[in-house]
């Protein structure tokens, strides 16, 4: 069967690294395995209703595995499963098992809200999942409920605890810090991280698609986070690492490490090596990008891994995106997108393209 998009295909199965117009390599892929979610975090899904991707359009595990194979031909070696809530995708461990057969992948991680984690962590570990990041913004039950519109804090805490018991290492807790909402919980979250053996990362509230209630006043900057923690713990030591990982890391006087992700006030676009894939196979090269590239059509038309890799490579080579840096230049910064725009293209939502 012929297809018109195969003008060029990568000839061998050896890795052919690809760089964008700013000399950034493609190394990292985040897959949103479903756009559905069982929480309604105010900074991500504040609305009462959403337009969902049709289930029939979601890529199957076999299709995802083939597509990931193509990405790894271009140098992708780190993969993160996200969503929506990835644990709502049925039999996720089957996908992990099939992905972990790809020897070019050094790391398969997952970002989850943790609600269903206790139930699934064991099978995911067996299947080859290496690391888990749990999003957790408050340890107070009432506040957690206000933030997420669900009474699920206990389940999340149990899920988090189960990780160390099972033997997961390098667990992280990601907390979005918002002024007047949870900025009094930095110390309790760090202390909780110590108890469960997880490294906490504080994330600046971002004006991404879907964050329709975003305002600059609500953003607590990296500077403020560091100042607050220095007041409490004393001098913090910066680890000085600067790689493609988005977090700046610090050490408390007792040696505990934590991170701050300052995507809003000090973005790190120049080091961004990530591509993002929606559950229905649209490729985005930036969290802020309005246009994506459809990989499902060629995939379903029978393109080989090499042919898919050539398509991805062509897109990456043209990449200019530095969405978060451009947002910095806005004088009157408010929510990136209005509700109408989001309804017209649900793939602009953070929960669809994967945070």
Q: Which residues bind ligand SF4 (CB under 6 A)?
A: 37, 39-41, 44-45, 83-85, 113, 135, 351
Positions that interact with ligand SAM (CB under 6 A): 37, 43-44, 82-83, 85, 111-113, 135, 174, 176, 203, 205-206, 208, 211, 350-351, 355
- The nearest distance, CB 42 to ligand SF4, in angstroms, is 9
Tell me the closest approach of the beta carbon of residue 31 to ligand SF4, in angstroms.
Answer: 14
221 binds, among ligand SAM, ligand SF4, none (CB under 5 to 8 A by kind): none
Taking the least distance from each CB to ligand SAM, the nearer of 274 and 351 is 351
**How far is the C-alpha of 244 from the C-alpha of 107, rounded, in Å?**
15
- Residue 155 or 176: which CB sits closer to ligand SAM? 176
Q: Could you write out the DSSP letters of every residue in 164-186?
A: HHHT--S-EEEEEEBTTTTTT-H
**Contact call for residues 219 and 179 (beta carbons, < 8 A):** yes
C-alpha angle 59-60-62 in degrees, rounded to nearest 5: 120
Contact in structure between 78 and 107 (CB atoms under 8 Å) = yes
45 binds, among ligand SF4, ligand SAM, none (CB under 5 to 8 A by kind): ligand SF4
CB 249, min distance to ligand SAM, A: 17
Query: Which partner from the list ligand SAM, ligand SF4, none does 298 bind, CB cut-off 5 to 8 Å by kind?
Result: none
Q: Quote the crossing angle between the two packed helices 61-73 and 305-317, to the nearest 10°.
A: 60
Cβ contact 63:299 at 8 Å: yes
Q: By C-beta, is 84 or 159 nearer to ligand SF4?
A: 84
40 binds, among ligand SAM, ligand SF4, none (CB under 5 to 8 A by kind): ligand SF4
Shortest Å, Cβ 111 to ligand SAM: 4
Least CB distance to ligand SAM at residue 85 (A): 4
DSSP SS3 for 124: helix
Which residues lie across from 259 on neighbouring strands? 201, 249
CA–CA separation, 122 and 42 (whole Å) = 30
Strand-pair partners of 25: 19
């Amino acid at each position: 069967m012929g297809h018109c998009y195969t003008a060029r295909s990568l000839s061998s199965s050896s890795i052919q690294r690809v760089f964008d117009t700013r000399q950034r390599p493609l190394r990292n892929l985040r897959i949103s395995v479903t756009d559905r979610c069982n929480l309604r975090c105010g900074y991500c899904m504040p609305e009462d209703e959403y337009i969902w991707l049709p289930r029939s359009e979601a890529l199957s595990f076999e299709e995802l595995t083939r597509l990931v194979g193509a990405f790894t031909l271009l140098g992708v070696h780190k993969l993160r499963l996200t969503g929506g809530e990835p644990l709502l995708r049925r039999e996720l461990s089957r996908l992990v098992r099939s992905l972990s057969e790809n020897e070019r992948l050094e790391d398969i991680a997952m970002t989850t809200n943790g609600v269903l984690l206790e139930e699934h962590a064991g099978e995911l570990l067996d299947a080859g999942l290496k690391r888990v990041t749990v999003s957790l913004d408050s340890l107070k039950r009432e506040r957690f409920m206000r933030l997420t519109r669900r009474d699920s804090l206990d389940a999340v805490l149990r899920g988090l605890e189960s990780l160390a018991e099972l033997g997961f290492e390098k667990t992280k807790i990601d907390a979005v810090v918002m002024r007047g909402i949870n900025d009094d919980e930095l110390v309790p979250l760090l202390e909780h991280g110590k108890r469960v053996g997880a490294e906490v990362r504080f994330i600046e509230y971002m004006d991404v698609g879907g964050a329709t209630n975003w305002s600059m006043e609500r953003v607590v900057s990296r500077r403020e986070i560091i100042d607050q923690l220095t007041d409490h713990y004393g001098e913090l030591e910066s680890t000085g690492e600067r790689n493609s990982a988005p977090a700046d890391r610090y050490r408390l006087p007792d040696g505990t490490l934590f991170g701050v992700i300052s995507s809003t006030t000090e973005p790190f676009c120049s080091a961004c090596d990530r591509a993002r894939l929606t559950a229905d196979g649209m490729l985005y090269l930036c969290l802020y990008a309005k246009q994506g590239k459809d990989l499902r059509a060629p995939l379903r038309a029978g393109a080989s891994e090499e042919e898919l890799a050539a398509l991805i490579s062509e897109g990456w080579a043209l990449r200019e995106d530095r969405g978060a840096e451009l947002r910095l230049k806005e004088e009157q910064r408010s929510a990136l997108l209005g509700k109408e725009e989001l309804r017209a293209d649900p793939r602009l939502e953070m929960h669809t393209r994967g945070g």
